[in-house]
Amino acid sequence: MQASATLETPEAAFTPAPAAHPDRATLLRAYRLMHTSAEMARLYEENKAVTAKYVHASARGHEAIQLAAAFQLRETDYCAPYYRDDAFLLGLGLTPYELMLQLMAKRDDPFSGGRTYYSHPSLRRPGIPVIPHQSSATGMQAIPATGMAHGVKYLESQNQLPSAAQQPVVVCSIGDGAMTEGEVAEALQMAVLHQLPIIYLVQDNEWGISATGREMRAMNAYEFAAGFKGLHRLQCDGADFVDSYATMTAATQYVRERRGPVLVHARCPLLGHHTSGVRREWYRGDNLTEHQTNDPLPRLHQQLLTESFEEGELGYAAAAAQATVQEDYQRALAAPNPDPATFADHEFAAPVVTQEAGQRSPAGADKALMVDAALHAVDDILQEFPEALFYGQDVGGELGGVFREAALLAKKYGDARVFNTPIQEAYIVGSTAGMSAVGAKAIVEIQFADYIWPALNQLVEELSKSCYLSMGKFPVQSLIRVPIGAYGGGGPYHSGSIESTLLTIRGIKVVYPSNAADMKGLMRAAFLDPNPVVMLEHKGLYWSKVPGTEDAKTVEPEAGYVVPLGKANVVQEAAADKLAEGDTCVVVTYGMGVYWAKTASKQLPGQVEILDLRTLNPLDWEAVMAATQRHGKVLILTEEPLMNSFAESLAGRIQRHCFQQLDAPVFTLGAVNLPAIALNVELEKQMLPSADKVLTALQELLAY
C-alpha cells in the first residue's frame, strides 16, 4: 500500500460516463427539499428570538450542490458534513423535526441529545450513510474523513468490509475558506499517496464570516488541488442543481470505480448569514444583492418548467414543504429538554478490560526489556486482530521506529498494515477517529513527546469529545504511542514530559508503564479500550541502561496478558514494624520516578512504600487514598516541572480529601520550572529530579 516514488496521476485512464441528468422523481424531490431548506432558514430568521438562542447556520444558496451530493450516497457510505449542510442532511433522509431538535438543544436530538450545535450530526441509522462526530473547527474534518477512507481501503484489502458494502465512498464537505488550513493539506497528501476513496466537496461562496476570498487565499480550491498529483478535480456551478448532480454523479462514479480521491469545487452564493450570531447586513452591502440573483431555488423552478412540470405541481410541492416545516417547528418547540441528571453520561465508553488476566510471570520465561515487551505486545495484537494496523513516522520498512520498537513488523505484516507516514502529527492522530468509525483499529506513534503539539487540535476537538457529543455512538478507539522523558543529553526537543498538558484534555486516557510486564499488559488493555488512549513510554526505561533502572527489565508475560487501566501497583512495601511505629511514608509516582524512589529508599530501609500509578487517567484514587491513610506522609514524584502540574494537582486533592489522616504536608518533587531541558548532560542533571534529590526530600518528610 506504500506509494511509489513516482505516483502516476490516474485521470488519463478514466473515461467518465455521459453526463448524468436527474430523472423526474429526483428533480421533484430536489425541488421539495430545496423549498424545505429555504423555509427552515426563513422560519429561523423570523423566530430568531427562539432559534438564535444557540448558534446556527443555514444552507441558503448552497442547497443545489448539497442535495446533489446527498442523492449519490448509500447507507454503506460515510460522510462528514460541515455546519452549513442542513440541506445535505435533508437529502440523506433526515427530517426538519430532527434538525430542529438539535437547533433547540432538545432531549431527543438524534445526534447529541442537546449537547452540540445545529447541523453537527453524528448518526448510525439504517438507510443513511454513517456520519461520525466532528467538531466545528473549520478544515479539521478533512483528516478524520480521510482516515475513514484510509480505513475503508485497508479493510477492503483484507476482505473485512460487510458483504453488503459495495465500493463505499467517503464524502468530506468543506468550505473554501477552510481549504487554507494546513491540516487540509495533510489530508490531501495522504489521500493521493494512498489513493483513497474520498470526495472532497468544496463549497465556495467567497466569504469567511466578514473576510472575502481575495483576503484569504491566493487561489481557489480547484487551483490549489492541482498541486496534489493524483487528485482528480472537477468544477461545477453549485447553484445549478442539474449541473451539480451531473458533477457529483461523475465524482462518485470515479471514486467507486477507481478507489481514488476527487475534489469537487462548487461555486455557490451565500444568501443567509454566516451564522446566526453574525448579521450579514453589517458588512455585505451590495454583495448580498448580487448573490441573490444566483439563488438556486428560482433557477431550479425555471428548469423544471422546461422539463414539462406544471406550476400547480410545483406549487403543491412547495406548499407541502412549507407545511411540514411549520408543523415540525411547533412539535420541536414542545419537545422535552434533556434531563439535567444525564449531563455527565458518555464521557467514556465502558472499558472492555476490567480485571488482570493471563500469566504475568510464566514459568521458564526469560526477562525482557521494556522496548521488546512493547514490540511483542504490538506483534501479538496484529496477529490476533486483523482489523488492527500500525503507522507513524519511520515505524515501517526496515527501521521499525527510531527506537526499534516496531522492528521488522512491516516485513511481517506488509505495508498495508504497518507503514510510514509523512511528518504529519495531526494526520497520525486525527486519522484514527476516522479509522475507528469504519471499524479499523489504529495503533499510531508520535516519534517524540515534544512533537505531539501539532496533533493537539485533532486530539482535543475530534478524538476527546466524540463519545460525549455523540451520546456514545462514536467513541474513538485509538492507541497513540508516545516515547517520552529525558535520557542523557537528548536536549530541548527530545526530552520533554507532557503528561500534565494531556491530563487537561477530558475524554482521553493516559497510561505510563514503568516496566516490561506492565508495558505488555497495559498495551493490550489500551488497544482493547474503546476510547482514545495515549501510552507514554519512557525512553530511559526502554533498555534498562540507566543506572538504577534494572528492574524495568522483567520476566515477559505470555501473549494475551492484560492489566486493566486505572489500577495502581504497590511496587515496594514498607516494613510492618516501621509502619507500626509510624515511621514510614509513601511515594506516589510513575515512570522514571519509580526508580529514583527505589534507589533513594535503599538508604531508608523499610520506611518507604512506592505506589506506581501506571495510569494517570483514569487515576486509581482509591489506591492513593489507602496509601495516604496507611502512612500519613506522602511525596508526589514526577519528572515534569512542578508549577501547575499533575503532581501539584494530586497533592492538593490529597490534602483536600485526606487532611485528617496526614501527619505532614504533602510533599512534591519534580523538575525545575524551566521551559526546556538543556542539551548539556550536566545542565540536564541540575534540572531533573534524581535519587539524591528524592532522598533529601524523603528524609525531610520522615522527620516532619
Pair 378, 258 in one domain: no
3-state secondary structure (DSSP) of residue 502: helix
The average pLDDT across 106-130 equals 95
E strands present in 112-267:
170-175, 198-204, 207-208, 211-212, 232-237, 262-267
Pair 258, 117 in one domain: yes
Among all chains, which residue has been given the C-alpha cell 503539539? 453
Among 56, 376, 494, 631, the one annotated catalytic:
494
- Please indicate, yes or no, if residue 14 is contained in any of the structural domains: no
- Res 6 pLDDT > 50: no
364 or 213, which is more confident? Answer: 364
Residue 618 DSSP symbol: T
The average pLDDT across 417-434 equals 94
For the segment 296-345, what is each residue's pLDDT rounded down to a tens digit?
999 999 999 999 999 999 999 999 999 999 999 999 999 999 999 999 99
Residue 494 annotated as catalytic: yes
The average pLDDT across 690-694 equals 97
Pair 136, 239 in one domain: yes
* pLDDT at 7 (0 to 100): 39
Q: What are phi and psi of 572, to 5 degrees?
A: -150, 125
635 CB burial (10 A radius; 0-12, 13-18, 19+):
buried
Which grid cell sits at 262? Answer: 476527487
Distance separating alpha carbons of residues 300 and 61, to the nearest angstrom: 12
Beta carbons within 10 angstroms of residue 228's beta carbon: 18
One-letter amino acid at 640 equals: E
Distance separating alpha carbons of residues 116 and 468, to the nearest angstrom: 10
Single residue among 307, 333, 359 that ends a domain in this structure: 333
Domain region containing 606: 569-703
Single residue among 494, 529, 555 that ends a domain in this structure: 555
Among candidate residues 1, 74, 71, 61, the one with its CA nearest the CA of residue 30? 71
For the segment 148-157, what is each residue's pLDDT rounded down to a tens digit?
999 999 999 9
Pair 521, 664 in one domain: no
For the segment 120-150, what is each residue's pLDDT rounded down to a tens digit?
999 999 999 999 998 987 888 999 999 999 9
Provide the whole-model pTM.
0.94
- Please indicate, yes or no, if residue 9 is contained in any of the structural domains: no
| Rounded-to-10 torsion of CA 59, 62, 67, 72 | -120
Q: What are phi and psi of 419, to 5 degrees?
A: -150, 160
Distance separating alpha carbons of residues 493 and 496, to the nearest angstrom: 7
- Res 466 pLDDT > 90: yes
Asked whether 627 and 599 are in contact (CB, 8 A), the reply is no
Beta carbons within 10 angstroms of residue 193's beta carbon: 19
* CA-based R_g, the chain, Å: 29
List the CATH number of the domain containing 688: 3.40.50.920
* pLDDT at 9 (0 to 100): 43
* pLDDT at 214 (0 to 100): 75
Torsion sign across C-alpha atoms 376, 380, 382, 387: negative
* pLDDT at 19 (0 to 100): 78
Q: Number of structural domains, the chain?
A: 3
Distance separating alpha carbons of residues 445 and 461, to the nearest angstrom: 19
Pair 520, 403 in one domain: yes
Pair 246, 179 in one domain: yes
Single residue among 282, 317, 333 that ends a domain in this structure: 333
Which grid cell sits at 183? Answer: 491540516
